[in-house]
Structures are given as C-alpha cells and as structure tokens.
Amino acid sequence: MKMSRRALRMERTYKRHKGSTQLNLVSLMDIFTILVFFLLVNASDVEVLPSTKSVKLPESFAQQHPEEAVTVMVTNEAILVQGRRILSVQEALDSELTDIPALQKALEAMSARAILTPGEDALRPEMNIMADKTIPYRLLKKIMLTGTKANYGQVSLAVMQKYPDNDE
C-alpha cells in the first residue's frame, strides 16, 4: 500500500523529533532566583528566641512579639548573655548587692558592640530576659535592676503565648 505525501512527511517529522525533547530551564531558574532573594530578605525580619529544654517559660496572653535585642537567659543553674555563661544562679542569689556586677559588665560590653541603624536611639538598647518560671522573684528583680544600670532602656520578659479558651 502506497502512503500519501502527507503521511510520509508526518513520519519523517516524527522520526526527526522522536528522541530530542528538550526542556528549557532558563525561565524556571529565574523564578527560583527571585524566590531565593525574597526569602533571604524576609527571613531576617523574624527573631526566634533561643530554645532550650532547661528553661520553662511562664505563660501569658501577650500578643506582642519580641524585638531584636540582647538575650539574657536564666536557667536553674546559670545566667547567660547571648549564650555565654556569666555566673551561677546561686552566686547571684547569695550576693548581698542589689545588682549583679558581672552581668552589668557583660551587658555594657554587648551594648558597646551593637550595630545601630540610622534613627535608632544609641543610648537605650533593649534586652529580653528568658527566665525559668521557677526562679525566685528577687533574682529576676536583680537582673532587671542590673539591666537598667547598664543603661538598657527597655527590659522585656519572654513568655510562652497562651491562647484563650474558646469554650464560650
């Protein structure tokens, strides 16, 4: 049986393009590049406080998110500034002073190293206190007083967000 010209032409075209399928990735790479830059720019807006199993934060209905600031972590054993151990909790509790000189020195060193953007108040840095919910209030009071003596303008307490029950 003789094939028509159209059938022969279609067969030749099919054989020519049979194994040469190509995928153009240029536009897909452009989209992913834009996506990566978008994620890099927006990822810096969120501050995640350090997580540790040794600190059980108190619960609160607070809605305000923490600002980027110096983090003072108080576990049952030690007081840490930005993850660096300053002194033990027992030493701070046994001290007769109303503040903690070693902590004040560390906080002043942290504020001296802070990089400020234009428009920020250079004189009043901020600090977040992540304290275990079982530490005594007198220790928390000493830490807050030390922060204000180290010229920290805003002292915040980190808490776990508690959601109201919607049983009403």
CA 85 to chain centre: 20
Query: Tokens 């151990």 appear where?
Result: 85
Q: How sure is the predictor about 95, in pLDDT bands with cuts at 50, 70 and 90? A: confident
How buried is 62 (Cβ within 10 angstroms: 0-12 exposed, 13-18 middle, 19+ buried)? middle
Contact between residue 98 and residue 142 where contact means Cβ atoms under 8 Å apart: yes
Q: In the numeric block, which tokens belong to residue 57?
A: 């934060």
Q: In the numeric block, which tokens belong to residue 88?
A: 């033990």
160 phi, psi to nearest 5 deg: -85, 135
CA end-to-end span of the chain: 83
Query: Tokens 């927006």 appear where?
Result: 42
pLDDT at 168: 47
Residue 64 has pLDDT above 80, yes or no: no
Q: What is the pLDDT of residues 113-161, one digit of tens each?
A: 765 555 555 557 788 888 887 888 889 899 889 988 888 888 887 766 6
Q: Are strands 84-88 and 70-74 parallel, antiparallel or unpaired?
A: unpaired
3-class SS of residue 48: coil
- Mean pLDDT computed over 67-95: 85
Q: Which residues contact 60 (CB under 8 A, 6 or more apart)?
A: 159, 160, 161, 162
- Mean pLDDT computed over 95-112: 86
Return the domain boundaries, the chain: 5-43, 59-161
Q: What is the pLDDT of residues 4-59, one digit of tens each?
A: 999 999 988 888 877 666 777 788 888 889 999 888 877 765 555 566 666 666 66
